[in-house]
Structure 1
């Protein structure tokens, strides 16, 4: 059974490509993915069968051999640390809310700090498996 690595896969388009051991590309339709799998990460090692498609070799019966770990997920803060970050963020948001209730926006420096923190916290929560 041939093997290779996922060159890229776009779940929205419904296809991608595998680079086989000889360095040639093999078309990867979403229908060839294992049951319950909707996407594959770039660089994941797979085994597959090959059939001749209309435009060249096409993968079928794909089996995931080795998924690459998510770098983002591996660098996430621990849940206890994240709880402390969220509690501090709530205090900052509460302070901003008080300022807004006084019909003023927080200072430019405070607003920038708050926006940066909100984006960082959101990125830690929005990690795709």
Structure 2
């Protein structure tokens, strides 16, 4: 089983369907909308949301999979 990591959403563009997560250790990691696990109507992560994810090797380097938003940031 792959190790889970915790990070913070650095930015996410809902219209493009991707963004980046700031990792605790290492470089920022790419996240695609298809990797976000969500129950409910609002599944879009926003800047500052803490997330848990698994790192996999994608076609252009590491990317986040099985992404779960831990707490929603409020305006």
Structure with the larger helix share? 1
Which consecutive aligned stretches of 4+ in structure 1 deviate over 4 angstroms post-superposition?
none
Higher RCO (CA-CA < 8 Å; seq separation 6+): 2
> Could you tell me the TM-score, scaled by structure 1's length?
0.51
Greater Rg, structure 1 or structure 2? 1
1:104-123 C-alpha deviation (Å, 9 max, x unpaired)? xxxxxxxxxxxxxxxxxxxx
Candidates 61, 69, 72, aligned match of 1:64: 69
Q: TM-score scaled to structure 2, two decimals?
A: 0.84
More strand by share: 2
Q: 2:54 aligned with 1:49, yes or no?
A: yes
Name structure 2 gaps, 5 residues minimum. Answer: none
Q: What is the aligned length? A: 70
